[in-house]
Amino acid sequence: MAKSQVAMKVNGKTVEALVEPRTLLIHFLREQLSLTGPHIGCETSHCGACTVDLDGKSVKSCTMFAVQANGADIRTIEGMANADGTLHPLQEGFREMHGLQCGFCTPGMIMRAYRLLQENKNPSEEEIRFGIAGNLCRCTGYQNIVKAIQYAAAKLNGVPFQEAAE
Amino acid sequence: MNDMTPSSAERAAKLEGMGCKRKRVEDIRFVQGKGNYVDDVKLPGMLYGDLVRSPHGHARITRLDTTKAAAVPGVVAVLTADVLKTVNLAWMPTLAGDVQMVLADGKVLFQNQEVAFVVAESREAAADAVGLVEVEYDPLPVNVDPLKAMAPDAPMIREDIKDKTEGAHGKRKHYNHIFSWQAGDKAATDAAFEKADVKIKEFIVYPRVHPCPLETCQCVASFDKIKGELTLWGTFQAPHVIRTVGSLISKIPEHKIHVIAPDIGGGFGNKVGAYSGYICSIVASIVTGRPVKWTEDRIENLSTTAFARDFHMDVEIACTKDGKVTGLRCYTIADHGAFDACANATKWPAGLFSIISGSYDFPAAYCLVDGVYTNKAPGGVAYRCSFRVTEAAYCIERAMDIMAQKLGMDAAEFRMKNLIRREQFPYTSAFGWQYDSGDYQTALKKAMEATNYKRLRDEQKAKREAFRRGETRELMGIGVAFFTEIVGAGPSRACDILGIAMFDSAEIRIHPTGSGICRLGTKSQGQGHETTYAQIIATELGLPADTITVEEGNTDTAPYGLGTYGSRSTPVSGAATAMACRKIKAKAQMIAAYMLEVHDDDLEWDVDRFRVKGNPERFKTMTELAWAAYHEVPPGMEPGLEAINYYDPPNFTFPYGAYICVVDIDVDTGMVKVRRFYALDDCGTRINPMIIEGQIHGGLTEAFGIAMGQEIHYDPDGNVTTASFMDYFLPTAVETPHWETDWTEVPSPHHPIGAKGVGESPNVGGVPCFSNAVNDAFSFFGSTHIQMPHDHWRVWTAAEELGLHG
């Protein structure tokens, strides 16, 4: 099959590659760029394990062709930690609040939470729950994921994090 | 001791041992996308496998032609049953003593059954070729109803064993019959029913569901022709079992098979079994001489690799008129699908289902289970429960509510009256299980107080009266469940898999500088083993948890073990860890005595050191002793500081819990809103409360999914209609209720650290609690039992049938 040339920015770096027109963005990221943080959990856009940030939106990279991302600016979980190796407040929050168990949904969940906090700096619990409804987790029951996002929001807003009472 | 020495408590806190809410070690890599899952494994020259699957539920294959598929550019090989026959692998043995087709041999027995395996240079080429494998089918009559499986004219599912009158578990009474299994005392139970004042009988179905971890089943097989060695990466909850079974069926010597289970994206029982995709990948690697990767998609996962439950239970309880239970009887039809590939301990075809007397003091009990074949996917697994325990817990907890209803007693009061009392432990149940410990009344009382149970009942009554007056269209339901599990399989006298006793293991090496590594036969799939096993070692050996590496999943380096499922990691490998630590500690004590020039009896342990009794300033810390073990051991002692323990538990453990749920039901829409869910768990000694709470949250969420919406459903033609996330309900953050957790702590008397296991309790107790809440709301209108799942449509239908829509 004839290949197409694509160029895009991924985690701040410009990449150029040849892809089959039918190559999915998730396969391009995982297999051609070796960015194996985004995962594949379904093929119907329900689970969100493949979520990446693309041109300011949360995108499920299993339901988009790599050629459609030509010219895009993409951020994956691999681009979240700070240059000095310290964790992004969301990454820190997920660990502090026990917001993950098997870790398979985590990269997608964090990338979705990242965009959510760009759109709403101080979301309520309900807004968080609605905001991450496109990302499934089979391990945590979401309660600690909500807390992890609240933790990150507080840290990003420079206010102390107060865990809601049980 | 001088003032500069930190106190025992301060030193203990620094270890982050048992009882500490230690942050997870695993998270550092997971939050950065640096986990290493099977699909992340990429080998030079790796090929991709993809399966051709049957569109029919039951059909004869009249033609199978792979010519066009083999001609697709990039396709390297196409395997069929005929190819597999050349290496004697067209069929494989199952864990349950049956055999199973690896690829369809002459006919297909369930929809999406594996028919051919295409191997290609890319996923895309493999997918192209899958569509070009030509298969012609001659459809056969289908049966997906287990209750009709033993009818005289039922479609014959297994022609290959039609003349076999003896199965792996005794006599077969019909060509679709697999086994009959019974427990308890039938005569005594029948006598109890004869004499009973009050009896109830109900038909309770626990529908077929699927564990559905977010990562599907997958593997990479790499066969080295020169060395004759196979390396197999895979999503394996039990890597050693896979190695042994792999060796037995492939005839590759076991020392030449290297099984590696890297990070696993959730298991919940789905990743215990051996599946066709694994066998095909291994054969394909042998045939092509190249590594072969196989990854399921979600539809394949939900419709072929395992299922759970599908138990159809006729349950009866006998009782005195003042509410004392006297007998329990249950007859069950178990739908095992087309092949008996259930993951149970081998001697237990219905698992540990005889825990069905639950938490109650039944003087007599009897159960009988018949397993049958149908045109459904094989592989009954213990989905987040010990073998068939959740079916038993659901059945007894529903039945207890139904009896309370008949007696006109409150559900909690009726339970309180019949719970096994504290002074009865150790308690032998009517089925012969020895419940090791518990304080059930205290747990239930605490749950009732925490939720203000009495006030909830008053509110419910007021609301029901308002409903009757037409002032509201909402009903309130209160669910109570008190479950007892039987986990930690298991004692070798009771449990084995294919003859291998269900022990487990830990091997600990302490390095000269006082850090160490612990390797185990279990395998975490998200439970946080790297964090919690190190906490056991920290407390036992007085070395900081941060200085202990925990490693699992590599059969070349880990000691033999039976893997992680059935809540067995803590009860079995956790015990092995403590026992290995104690061997190390005993040796360290001898070294300390030698260095301090005292008798070892003159030493006492203090958090992280041995000190001389009565002279605490004379001590040797564990770190000092580790160094000494490598250069200063007493004459005649072997150098080094390591130990291994294979732990064969003396008994199972019996975690329990009291759960209370409050729901509000809109009678006109069938919408069920969970207002409150309170879960009290007793898992014995608590190793990491943060992780325990996380396990409870997750298990309750899975229970919520099962009770309120999940079903792997087949239509009468054998089509599986719920095999994608379009149709199979997984709760999102929006539907998932808020969880309240609580605990009591009664340690297991036979476990070295008193721990019982916890990961599965919330699934076992959660499902009946939700179902009881929904049923409770309607029980006041004459309904005794509404089958799960309680989705909007079914709840609306129940209300309609009760005439509540006016």
The predicted-structure confidence for B464-475, as pLDDT tens digits, reads as follows 999 999 999 999
Q: What was the pLDDT predicted at B783?
A: 97
The whole-number average pLDDT for the span B87-103 is 95
Residues spanned by the domain of A133: 89-157
The whole-number average pLDDT for the span B579-605 is 98
Return the H-helix or E-strand segment holding B691: helix B689-708
The whole-number average pLDDT for the span A47-54 is 98
- The count of domains in chain A is 2
Contact flag B33-A104 (C-beta cutoff 8 Å):
no
Q: Does A162 fall in a domain?
A: no
Q: What is the pLDDT of residues B107-134, one digit of tens each?
A: 999 999 999 999 999 999 999 999 999 9
Do A100 and A145 share a structural domain? yes
Taking the CA of residue A159 and the nearest CA in chain B, the distance in Å comes to 22
Instruction: For residue A94, give the chain B residue with the closest CA.
Output: B31
Please name the residues between 217 and 276 in chain B that touch chain A, using a CB distance below 8 Å. 263-266, 268
Q: What is the pLDDT of residues B434-491, one digit of tens each?
A: 999 999 999 999 999 999 999 999 999 999 999 999 999 999 999 999 999 999 998 9
- pTM (2 d.p.): 0.97
Instruction: For residue B300, give the chain A residue with the closest CA.
Output: A42
What is the C-alpha to C-alpha distance for residues B339 and A123, in angstroms, rounded to an integer?
A: 50
Which CATH fold would you assign to the domain B8-35+504-647? Aldehyde Oxidoreductase; domain 4 (3.30.365)
Residue B597: CB atoms within 10 A of its CB come to 9
Contact flag B27-A142 (C-beta cutoff 8 Å):
no
Residue B2 has pLDDT above 70, yes or no: no
CATH of the domain at A123: 1.10.150.120
Q: Does A60 fall in a domain?
A: yes
B711 is an active site residue: no
- CATH value of B308-489+652-801 in 3.30.365.10, 3.30.70.790, 3.40.50.10860, 3.40.50.12780: 3.30.365.10
Do A103 and A135 share a structural domain? yes
Here the tokens at position A13 are 């770096």
Q: What was the pLDDT predicted at B347?
A: 84
Instruction: For residue B677, give the chain A residue with the closest CA.
Output: A166
Q: Which residues pair with B517 in a beta bridge?
A: B509, B549
Q: How far is CA B671 from CA B249, B255, B701, in A?
A: 50, 57, 18
Please name the residues between 720 and 739 in chain B that touch chain A, using a CB distance below 8 Å. 724-726, 730, 732-734, 736, 738-739
Per CB-CB distance under 8 Å, the chain B contacts of A37 are 32-34
Per CB-CB distance under 8 Å, the chain A contacts of B702 are 138
Q: What was the pLDDT predicted at B346?
A: 81
Contact flag B39-A39 (C-beta cutoff 8 Å):
yes
Q: Which of B27, B264, B700 sits opposite A141 (nearest CB)?
A: B700
The size of the A-B interface in CB pairs under 8 A is: 175
* Residue tagged active-site, from B111, B237, B405, B535: B237
The whole-number average pLDDT for the span B321-348 is 95
Residue (of A48, A25, A15, A59) closest to A132 by Cα position: A48
Taking the CA of residue A74 and the nearest CA in chain B, the distance in Å comes to 15
Q: How confident is the model at residue A162 (pLDDT cuts 50, 70, 90)?
A: confident
Task: Assess contact for B518 and B548: CB atoms under 8 A.
Answer: yes
Taking the CA of residue A99 and the nearest CA in chain B, the distance in Å comes to 8
Do A103 and A64 share a structural domain? no
Do A70 and A11 share a structural domain? yes
User: Would you call B676 an interface residue with chain A, using a CB distance cutoff of 8 Å?
Assistant: no
Equal fold, B38-140+216-264+271-303 vs B308-489+652-801: no
Q: Does A83 fall in a domain?
A: no
What is the C-alpha to C-alpha distance for residues B626 and B2, in angstroms, rounded to an integer?
A: 24
Q: How confident is the model at residue B569 (pLDDT cuts 50, 70, 90)?
A: very high
Contact flag B214-A40 (C-beta cutoff 8 Å):
no
Do A67 and A14 share a structural domain? yes
Contact flag A100-B31 (C-beta cutoff 8 Å):
yes
Q: What is the share, in percent, of chain B residues with pLDDT greater than 90? A: 97
Do A64 and A22 share a structural domain? yes
Do A8 and A44 share a structural domain? yes
Report chain A's mean pLDDT, rounded to a whole number.
96
Q: Does A12 fall in a domain?
A: yes
Rg (CA), chain A: 16
Handedness of CA B234, A101, B770, B798 (dihedral sign): negative
Q: What is the pLDDT of residues B140-151, one digit of tens each?
A: 999 999 999 999
What is the C-alpha to C-alpha distance for residues B29 and B35, in angstroms, rounded to an integer?
A: 6
B760 is an active site residue: yes
User: Would you call B37 an interface residue with chain A, using a CB distance cutoff of 8 Å?
Assistant: yes
What is the C-alpha to C-alpha distance for residues B598 and B586, in angstroms, rounded to an integer?
A: 15
Do A65 and A18 share a structural domain? yes
Q: What is the pLDDT of residues B293-318, one digit of tens each?
A: 999 999 999 999 999 999 999 999 99
The whole-number average pLDDT for the span B553-565 is 97
3-state secondary structure (DSSP) of residue B637: coil
Return the H-helix or E-strand segment holding B507: strand B504-510
Q: What was the pLDDT predicted at B3?
A: 57
The whole-number average pLDDT for the span B40-50 is 98
Residue B657 has pLDDT above 90, yes or no: yes
Residue A115 has pLDDT above 80, yes or no: yes
Give domain B38-140+216-264+271-303's CATH superfamily: Aldehyde oxidase/xanthine dehydrogenase, a/b hammerhead (3.90.1170.50)
Q: What was the pLDDT predicted at B1?
A: 46
B229 is an active site residue: no
What is the C-alpha to C-alpha distance for residues B548 and B537, in angstroms, rounded to an integer?
A: 8
* Domain residue spans of chain B: 8-35+504-647, 38-140+216-264+271-303, 308-489+652-801
Q: How confident is the model at residue A166 (pLDDT cuts 50, 70, 90)?
A: low
Residue B158 has pLDDT above 70, yes or no: yes
Residue B420 has pLDDT above 80, yes or no: yes
Q: Which of A47, A102, A136 sits opposite B525 (nearest CB)?
A: A102
Contact flag A144-B734 (C-beta cutoff 8 Å):
no
B405 is an active site residue: no
Residue (of B548, B503, B498) closest to B522 by Cα position: B503
Q: How confident is the model at residue B755 (pLDDT cuts 50, 70, 90)?
A: very high
